[in-house]
Structure 1
Amino acid sequence: MAPLSRIVSGTSCRPFFCSSAYPKMYRILHRAFCTAAEPATVSIKSISEDLYKEVKLKRLVEKFKKASDIDRFRKNTGIYEETVRRLAGAKRFRWVRDILEHQKQYSDISNEDFSVRLISLYGKSGMTKHARMVFDEMPQRKCNRTVLSFNALLDAYLHSRKFNVVEELFKTLPTQLSIEPDLVSYNTFIKAFRKKVSFDSALSVLKEMEEKGVNPDSITFNTLLHGLYSKCSFEDGEKVWGQMSAKNVTPDARSYCFKLVGLLREKPDEAGEFLREMMKVGVKPDLFCIKVVNNAIIKRIVDEGNLDEMKNYLVNIANFGLDLDKDTYPIFIPFLREKSDWKTAIDLCFEIFKRRGHVDVSLIQLVVDKLVDGGMISEAKEFVDIGKESCRYRVNLPSYVSS
């Protein structure tokens, strides 16, 4: 058979296309080929970049829904995560629902991976009612529910801090749906108990895993170690540490990090020696480990009530080029408020705005009120404006101050 180029451009076919009997057919074929080729020329990267740059959230939603018609766009999990994160962060939950419900019209919804993505996105937005709805609708969309979607549902409720629901689902759904929980299921279950500070229950899950023949991994043990060592259950933490070797699970950087936190809280005199041991065995802490240990040190300084040491530590953090963690501010600022060090508190609040940190909005409001009381009206107005722009801290000037 002749190559397509010869069939289209060769002299042998010219009478066919040039014949007066076929001009209409030629135009139809031409349009068909051009239309079919069009989606392939669409750059998903350029669409994604346009969505990232879109500042008007309503327009973002419209663009996202339009782009969803493109099959390759729907395979881009990153832009889904980022868009939903932005909308949920701005508390535009109606629009989160709008773009995710829009996805149900596509054939992808009969694929479990696609449904799992919607469940997870709803979960990360705190919209567990809708996450459960996607899960419940899967059978009518001819989509099988396996341990994969079960785990996504558990994680959705975990993200929303509905730990009791995680426990309820873990105990009821596997039997109802003939699903066998796997390692991920058990790890999520243990995380729920850790966040509830219910360590006896968490440890009982470890025993259940052994009975079911599910071998724990480093995530299982680190979840337990994190909770036990950070909540001053040092002895229980040591028992779990010993169980790791019995299960042939080698402690990793995070395991060592959590034990170091426990030592800083309970046995600070031994922390230095343990840190040297970490270095000797070649443990390389990641950024998460550094932040966890950093917060443990800060918490100890706060508990001791030493303001000067706190300020020195702030300087050291800056000198080493380390950023404050979002979990650090809630430790720092109440302490500075208690010590009436408003200047440092104000500086840290501006740092929160700059880095999009998370603290209770009432704390920011107290700083605004303090600025007004001190006659720093322009600075107070700046706080209010920045807070509104971030859509996160809606603080107000006192009623007697003109905006």
Structure 2
Amino acid sequence: MPPNAAAALAGLRRLCTTTDAATITISRAKSQLRSEFDPDKALQIYSSVSKHYSSPVTSRYALDLTIRRLAKCRRHSDIVDLIESQKSDPKVASEPFLSTLIRSYGIADMFDRALQTYHQMDTFGTPRTSVSFNALLTACVNCALYHNAPHLFDEIPKQYGVVPDKVSYGILAKSFCRIGDPAKALQVLKDAQGNGVVITAVTYTTILDVLFRKGKIDEAEKLWRLMEETGCVDVTAYNMKLKFLTAGGGGLPEKVNGLIDEMVKARFMPDTISYNYLMTCYFKNGMVEEAKKVYDGLRGKQCRPNAATFRTVVYFLCRNEDFEGGYRVFKESAKVNKIPDFNTMKILVEGLVKKGKKKEAEELIRTVKKRFPCNMLNAWAKVERNLNLVSDDGADNVESKKDSEP
């Protein structure tokens, strides 16, 4: 056990109340963690089942969610206690398990500890392959240390004999894309091919995105042709084109619709992201009813609205002074735990008050205060004061109303 592991484990136990693990299944714990935004409750849920995870993927998913809840509330010491306590688990000798800890430090924006954990692998008897190397590179990118990624890519393989794989090259290319240097990202493709590494579709689309954003259309089309030759064109790649058409490629609905038709002819079914771009294009061109029809028809196309869907629709409805419509869409987002961001919700609340819908505004705030991270509570309290609103956390929220249509 590492020197600080016992103290870390004791700290974690102090954070979490005792829970009978038999009373909650792993599946139920994952579901609760997705909708639980209180960091202490998230810790309690994770603690109740953390020893029962047999799958590294399941363990990573649960730990990631818990760390995100703590990170949003800047509970850094609690994050350290939680992750360090995991190092006393016998599974730490498994590379996938330890890689989860490295990734978690990246999510928490604590790269020094991620790197320290990687260097500790010999202590735990954990083998090093591209799996843990990729976790370290991912932590570096998640911490926005994009300029550090090339150094790691060069030094770690030399120090530990790790061989980069297609994912490693993809993360390196992503780091160059994040700093807006597509030329170096394209060089990564050549280096990978020179080393016999097959590039993934994800890497291609990441570079395609930055080429479009930089206005390098000819290079983007050249890369597209290469993607077609290598069989790497997919729905995500088409969505990158849709994004460009919506944001900077003219923004005309007929062009966006034309590309969606092209997708279908190529036997790629448009997804929620595809239709989000179409809705955005309609809204930007003042075609509100057409955008609403796309939103209303999503489920009929086997697509579920995501967080971006709700944010886009609520925002543009508010811009068009349709605050009642925005409130209806907000309620739909709340039912599936995909409430739009603070700024969008603030516009909606102010609009509801402006239209004399004070009760609805109070109900909205009552709901979002339970879902937003604790570091946003002061911002919501300020909104309430400025609009002379009152939210009683003990009262029913909008989801419990049988009929609260404005």
TM-score normalised by structure 2 residue count: 0.71
Tell me, in whole angstroms, the C-alpha distance in 2 between the residues paired with 1:364 and 1:272.
Answer: 29
Deviates more, 1:211-220 or 1:258-267: 258-267
Amino acid of the structure 1 residue aligned with 2:335: K
* Among 357, 365, 368, the residue aligned to 2:346: 365
- Is the CA contact (8 Å cut-off) linking 1:218 and 1:251 kept in structure 2? yes
Tell me, in whole angstroms, the C-alpha distance in 1 between the residues paired with 2:314 and 2:118.
Answer: 41
SS across alignment from 1:328? helix
**Alignment of 1:73 onto 2:56:** no
Tell me, in whole angstroms, the C-alpha distance in 2 between the residues paired with 1:317 and 1:232.
Answer: 31
* Among 21, 26, 29, the residue aligned to 1:48: 26
Superposition pairs of residues 1-400 of structure 1, within 5 angstroms: 47-48=25-26, 51-52=29-30, 58=40, 61=43, 64-65=46-47, 67-68=49-50, 70=51, 73=53, 75=55, 77-86=57-66, 88-89=68-69, 91=72, 93-94=75-76, 95-229=78-212, 233-244=216-227, 248-249=230-231, 251-259=233-241, 266=249, 278-281=263-266, 283-285=267-269, 289-317=270-298, 320=301, 322-357=303-338, 359-392=340-373, 394=377, 395-396=380-381, 397-398=384-385, 400=388
SS across alignment from 1:215? coil
- Is the CA contact (8 Å cut-off) linking 1:65 and 1:99 kept in structure 2? no
Structure 1 residue 332 displacement after superposition: 3.8
Identity %: 22
Tell me, in whole angstroms, the C-alpha distance in 1 between the residues paired with 2:213 and 2:300.
Answer: 27
Amino acid of the structure 2 residue aligned with 1:81: Y
Tell me, in whole angstroms, the C-alpha distance in 2 between the residues paired with 1:190 and 1:366.
Answer: 37
TM-score normalised by structure 1 residue count: 0.72
Tell me, in whole angstroms, the C-alpha distance in 1 between the residues paired with 2:25 and 2:97.
Answer: 20
Over 3 Å counting, the alpha-carbon distance change for 1:402 and 1:121 in structure 2 is closer
Provide, for residues 63-106 of structure 1, a one-character-per-residue CA deviation record: whole Å limited to 9, x for no partner. Answer: 644655x5x53546415523541452363545444332211112
Structure 1 residue 250 displacement after superposition: 5.1
How large is the RMSD of aligned CA atoms in angstroms? 3.7
- Is the CA contact (8 Å cut-off) linking 1:186 and 1:209 kept in structure 2? yes
Q: Extract unaligned runs of 5+ from structure 2.
A: 1-19, 392-406
Over 3 Å counting, the alpha-carbon distance change for 1:275 and 1:77 in structure 2 is closer
Structure 1 residue 328 displacement after superposition: 3.2
Identify the residue that residue 35 of structure 1 maps to in structure 2.
none
SS across alignment from 2:199? coil
Deviates more, 1:254-263 or 1:114-123: 254-263
Provide, for residues 342-381 of structure 1, a one-character-per-residue CA deviation record: whole Å limited to 9, x for no partner. Answer: 2333333333333333643133223323333444332222
Tell me, in whole angstroms, the C-alpha distance in 2 between the residues paired with 1:182 and 1:361.
Answer: 39
SS across alignment from 2:364? helix
Identify the residue that residue 13 of structure 1 maps to in structure 2.
none
Tell me, in whole angstroms, the C-alpha distance in 2 between the residues paired with 1:308 and 1:245.
Answer: 36
Structure 1 residue 147 displacement after superposition: 2.5
Tell me, in whole angstroms, the C-alpha distance in 2 between the residues paired with 1:353 and 1:61.
Answer: 23
Amino acid of the structure 2 residue aligned with 1:192: S
Structure 1 residue 206 displacement after superposition: 1.6
Tell me, in whole angstroms, the C-alpha distance in 1 between the residues paired with 2:300 and 2:368.
Answer: 28
- Is the CA contact (8 Å cut-off) linking 2:99 and 2:131 kept in structure 1? yes
Structure 1 residue 149 displacement after superposition: 1.2
Structure 1 residue 155 displacement after superposition: 1.3
Over 3 Å counting, the alpha-carbon distance change for 1:253 and 1:362 in structure 2 is closer
Q: From the CA coordinates, give the structure whose radius of gyration is larger.
A: 1
Q: Whose RCO is larger (CA < 8 A, sep 6+)?
A: 2
Provide, for residues 319-339 of structure 1, a one-character-per-residue CA deviation record: whole Å limited to 9, x for no partner. Answer: 656433222344444434433
Tell me, in whole angstroms, the C-alpha distance in 2 between the residues paired with 1:305 and 1:146.
Answer: 53
Provide, for residues 244-282 of structure 1, a one-character-per-residue CA deviation record: whole Å limited to 9, x for no partner. Answer: 355x4453444445446556764866666665554445x
- Is the CA contact (8 Å cut-off) linking 1:232 and 1:266 kept in structure 2? no
Structure 1 residue 385 displacement after superposition: 1.4
Tell me, in whole angstroms, the C-alpha distance in 2 between the residues paired with 1:401 and 1:273.
Answer: 47
Structure 1 residue 152 displacement after superposition: 0.5
Tell me, in whole angstroms, the C-alpha distance in 1 between the residues paired with 2:259 and 2:368.
Answer: 43
Structure 1 residue 122 displacement after superposition: 3.2
Tell me, in whole angstroms, the C-alpha distance in 2 between the residues paired with 1:66 and 1:319.
Answer: 39
Deviates more, 1:381-390 or 1:107-116: 107-116
- Is the CA contact (8 Å cut-off) linking 2:256 and 2:278 kept in structure 1? no
Provide, for residues 161-201 of structure 1, a one-character-per-residue CA deviation record: whole Å limited to 9, x for no partner. Answer: 44334344334433444433221111112223334443233
Amino acid of the structure 2 residue aligned with 1:376: K
Matched residue count: 355
- Is the CA contact (8 Å cut-off) linking 1:261 and 1:292 kept in structure 2? no
Q: Extract unaligned runs of 5+ from structure 1.
A: 1-41
Tell me, in whole angstroms, the C-alpha distance in 2 between the residues paired with 1:58 and 1:297.
Answer: 40
